[in-house]
Amino acid sequence: MDGTSKSAFWLLCVYEYTPYSYSRILCLLRASRDEYLEQDGVRFLMEDQDGSTVACRVSHQALRDHADRLHFSGTDGAVFEAYRELIEQVASDAYDAEGPFDDNGRVLVTPEALARVTRSA
Domains and CATH numbers, the chain: 30-120 (3.30.160.140)
Q: Is the pLDDT of residue 50 over 60?
A: yes
- Give CA torsion, residues 43, 90, 13, 54, to 10 deg: -30
Give 113's pLDDT tier (boundaries 50, 70, 90): very high
Confidence (pLDDT) at 5: 34
112 band by pLDDT with thresholds 50, 70 and 90: very high
Give the H/E segment covering residue 39: none
Q: Mind listing the pLDDT tens digit for each residue in 16-38?
A: 444 444 444 456 555 556 677 88
CB contact at 8 A, 59 and 44: no
What is the average pLDDT across 57-86? 95
